[in-house]
Amino acid sequence: MMEFIARHAMGEKVSGTALVANDGFSARYDLNRWTGLFSRPAHKLVGLSYVDRILILDTAKGGVASAWMLHEMKSRHMAPKAIVFNTVNTILAQGAALGGIALLAGFDVDVTAAIAHGSIVEVDPGARMLRVLKVGDGTVAAAQSGQRTEPVVRVQGR
C-alpha cells in the first residue's frame, strides 16, 4: 500500500476512484456543475465525471466563485468526494470547507505523478494521509469504472 502524508488537511475520511491529472483546477472554469463533467476543452480530464470522484490535481486556480460553486455542487449531491492538490490556495481551501469537501494538499512528492489514474484511494484528513488502496492502470477506462455515462441531475426529494 502506498501512503502519502499531506501538510494541509480538512474534512471527513472518504474513499473512491481517483481522477488524476497534472493540471490545475478551477471549480468555476473547469467544471459544468449541471452535467457533472469536466467541461473546459483544454483540461486533461475533459469529458469525465467528477461526481463522487477523488480529484488529484497539481494546483488550485480561481477566485471566490470556486467557493460558492463547491458549496452549490455539494448541496445538489453533484460534488467530488475529495480534492487532493500538490499546492492549494486559500480561496479553494475556503471553498472546500464551505462545501464540506475533504481536502489534502502539500506533499513531498508530486502526487499527480505518483498515483495512477483510476486508482482506488482513501483520503484521511484526520491522519493527513492519502492511501492508495488499489493501483489503477492509468487509463480513462479505469477512471470511468462504475461511472455514469449520462449527465446527472440530482434533485432533493420532497
- Residue 151: per-residue pLDDT: 44
CB 51 within 8 A of CB 81: no
CB 152 within 8 A of CB 44: no
The answer as to whether 45 is a domain residue is: yes
* 151 Cβ contact list (under 8 Å, min separation 6): 34, 35, 36, 37
Number of domains, the chain: 1
**CATH code (residue 22):** 3.50.30.10
Q: What is the DSSP letter of 101?
A: -
- Residue 135: per-residue pLDDT: 94
- Residue 150: per-residue pLDDT: 43
Residue ranges of the chain with pLDDT lower than 70? 141-158
- State the amino acid at position 129 in one-letter form: M
The answer as to whether 33 is a domain residue is: yes
The answer as to whether 83 is a domain residue is: yes
CB 58 within 8 A of CB 22: yes
pLDDT in tens, 71-100: 899 999 999 999 999 999 998 999 899 999
Bridge partners (DSSP) listed for residue 138: none
- Residue 66: per-residue pLDDT: 82
The answer as to whether 91 is a domain residue is: yes
- State the amino acid at position 7 in one-letter form: R
